[in-house]
Amino acid sequence: MADNTVSIGSSLSHVHVPGRREPEEDELKEGEVEIGMGIHNEAGSERKCTDLPGLVKTMLEHCLNAADQDRSFSSISDKDEVVLLVNNLGGVSPLELGGITNEVVEQLDGTFKIKPVRILSGTFMTSLNGLGFSITLLKVTDLQLGGGPSLLELLDAPAEASGWSAAIRSDTWQKRGQVTAEEKQKDAEEILPSNLRGKLRRRAELHDANDLLVNRTQAQSALKTALERLISVEPDVTKYDTIVGDGDCGIGLKRGAECRSLIT
């Protein structure tokens, strides 16, 4: 491990060699993750049950906590230009890898004030079907190539390797932050009071139509009943969607209904 590079991997299971079906002697338990596992099943530093934010926090601490004398291999700080690589060990879906990458980026910024100048996220080096990922941080240094391309220019250069994914530039994430801020502003504008009740009341007075007034209690009751019924039929929706589709319709509707139930 070089002074300007640090890497760590974690996985929910060991590599399963094709054609070998016997159970592993040291198989991980359900919900357990091995932190520091090597790409060839080398044992990690610990096993624990945690969620993604907790796992990423532990992994980044191992990589960047200078106070940890046993693991402080790197001198990367918020003053350095840093390239982030999030590597799929083989068994993680693109959707999951996107969520993992987002969590790593947010924690790097929030905890360590590190904003990567390039972000590489994809399947670069697998552990066959390993259900895990690795995080690698590279401190950009001067290669002293006598006027040649910089390290970032080399990373940005076109490549025809089938396993290489283009880097996500830092300005892309900055634009993402701007879009998020704009969306929040738009949402805030949309939830401003519309004075709908007052308008309806005035309209009712003009037309003597009291039935136009909204009964808040009845509306909430009807909405609650509809959401509860939607949640209750999730098993049936999932069953039939599994037959004709990918089986995600029921849980998606249920989660949406549960979120709406919390709001109401």
Closest CA to 124 of 113, 116, 134: 134
Q: Any bridge partners for residue 47, and if so which?
A: 34
Beta bridge partners of 130: 90
150: pLDDT confidence band, cut at 50, 70 and 90?
A: confident
Catalytically active residues are 40
- Residues contacting 191, CB < 8 A, separation 6+: none
Q: What is the pLDDT of residues 216-246, one digit of tens each?
A: 788 888 888 999 998 999 999 989 988 888 8
Query: At residue 1, does pLDDT exceed 50?
Result: no
Rounded mean pLDDT, 150-174? 80
CA separation for the pair 80, 253 (Å, rounded)? 45
Q: What is the mean pLDDT of the chain?
A: 81
Question: What is the SS3 assignment for 223?
Answer: helix
Helix (H, G, I), strand (E, B) or coil at 50: coil
Convert the pLDDT of each residue in 36-59 to its tens digit: 988 887 888 889 999 999 999 999
CB within 8 A of 35, min separation 6: which ones? 8, 10, 44, 45, 46, 47, 48, 55, 58, 59, 62
CB–CB of 64/6 below 8 Å?
A: yes
Which residue would you say has higher pLDDT here, 31 or 115?
115
In this predicted structure, the answer to whether residue 103 has a pLDDT above a threshold of 90 is: yes
Span 161-166, average pLDDT: 82
Residues 6+ apart with CB under 8 A from 150: 140, 142, 143
H-type helices in the chain, by residue range? 52-64, 94-112, 151-156, 170-190, 196-207, 216-232, 234-244, 249-263
User: pTM for this structure?
Assistant: 0.69
Instruction: Answer whether residue 209 shows pLDDT above 50.
Output: no
